[in-house]
Structure 1
């Protein structure tokens, strides 16, 4: 039960990131580049302070930072820039489909191949997500944006897989954010040199970085060693549904029958993949 609650809390933190991002950018309080840079900076500051208060190590030179910080930067840059040209729903579908494929493939190569039940659950949940997110009108998918979102999905999958062997979740996450900060800032500013941010934008990015990203990612690294990679992949399909529900409650967005049906499919698929049903 404790693992379930921690995992659910982590998914809520991930979904809150999406809500905060949409609130800042859709309202004009920030542009994607500024939001991403301040988000990583805030996460690094909060996590480093917590590590120092705990008198723990900050393993900036560990070889783990190559994968940890590198994949975090790849995710942040790809995710932020891709949404400049991609529809939000299609972008989320590409991201989470790539995360599923990457983590399932890595699991198979590591000797823990997913079961038929886990694959079936992932497919059902992904179908529910597509039902919720796919635009009703015809659209053209920007290939460059799709490539960036694919890279973001690979980056997040690699970041999640790296967390399974991180010996100290808080210190490891703090070091990842510190090392990823200059890489992410340089990459974002090279691609889009714009910097437009109001006081509200700084506040939203700070909350996203320090709380829902920094602490949320540290909690993710805390629970990952207790989850097999396939389960860790599938449970993340709940994030867009939680984010949409958050938009309904916090941003006044409309709820629909399509959302309820799709959410039911997502949750049913996750249950199929995660729950271990024993026959009596």
Structure 2
């Protein structure tokens, strides 16, 4: 019994730190790019490179005499797409809006993936999907508070990539090693990115520090912790807990960056997160109802 409680506490703590890391990435990226302390391509390159270095050192420190490749190219490609779109999107999006679009898209991606894998939705779940989609449409409607098409589309692409990265991460049995080599495999793409945007590179000391913190701690260590959590969480649970990230990011944006939370964002956020929560919990209670029959 005590072992079971200890295991549950461990998963709660691990999951919490992973969610804080996700929110920290949004805040660090916005700190760096919102104040133009670094360009988005350089931020992405430093972020992924520093994450790869720290994770590789952690792997070597655990098993200094053995070396083998883990992770996968498909996960690495999704990681790179997520990171580069994330950075370029945060040039124009504020912290809360970016996190809301990102994790709203992540959950929709995971739900649609389950649907195409044969998991059919009940009318209750479809109602939630419609509500969430309507919230996203409302957020993107033309108006004074519209976050802008470029940043919005880039963050949606980032969310789709992160959704697949999370889905494939559920099969990980060596979280630290898989995360390390996923980061290492992004380095060829990082070099290409740096060369393409070399002429536009602007890097300050503060910008580089934010990128290193985002890559080494919030991304590298944070994603390894997330892989540990994914191994113990159901798809439903992993979907629900990520809904807290936009809330944490919004709080960080208000406290650290002095960003305003608009009425449109509050309404759209309630619709998107409420709709997804409706889908997830609806599926859970429908499953429980079937078991009682």
2:174 aligns with one of 168, 188, 196: 168
Where structure 2 has 5 or more consecutive residues not aligned to the other structure, the ranges are: 1-7
1:213 aligns with one of 215, 219, 231: 219
Give yes or no for the alignment of 1:16 onto 2:24. Answer: yes
Matched pairs, number = 276
TM-score, with length taken from structure 2? 0.76
The C-alpha deviation readout for 1:82-110, integer Å capped at 9, x for no partner, is 455x6557765654444233211222333
Distance 1:6 1:131 in 2: 34
Distance 1:120 1:79 in 2: 29
Give the CA deviation at 1:132: 7.5
Equivalent residue of 1:236, what SS? helix
Give the CA deviation at 1:218: 0.7
From the superposition, tell whether residues 222 and 264 of structure 1 become closer, same or farther in structure 2 (CA, over 3 Å). Answer: same
* Residue number in structure 2 paired with 1:105: 112
Query: Does the 8 Å CA contact 2:21/2:219 hold for their aligned counterparts?
Result: yes
From the superposition, tell whether residues 264 and 158 of structure 1 become closer, same or farther in structure 2 (CA, over 3 Å). Answer: closer
Where structure 1 has 5 or more consecutive residues not aligned to the other structure, the ranges are: none
The C-alpha deviation readout for 1:151-195, integer Å capped at 9, x for no partner, is 323321111111011110011001111111221331354256422
TM-score, with length taken from structure 1? 0.79
Distance 1:114 1:225 in 2: 24
Give the CA deviation at 1:129: 7.2
* Residue number in structure 2 paired with 1:65: 72
Give yes or no for the alignment of 1:52 onto 2:60. Answer: yes
From the superposition, tell whether residues 135 and 7 of structure 1 become closer, same or farther in structure 2 (CA, over 3 Å). Answer: farther
- Higher-Rg member (1/2): 2
Query: Does the 8 Å CA contact 2:93/2:147 hold for their aligned counterparts?
Result: no
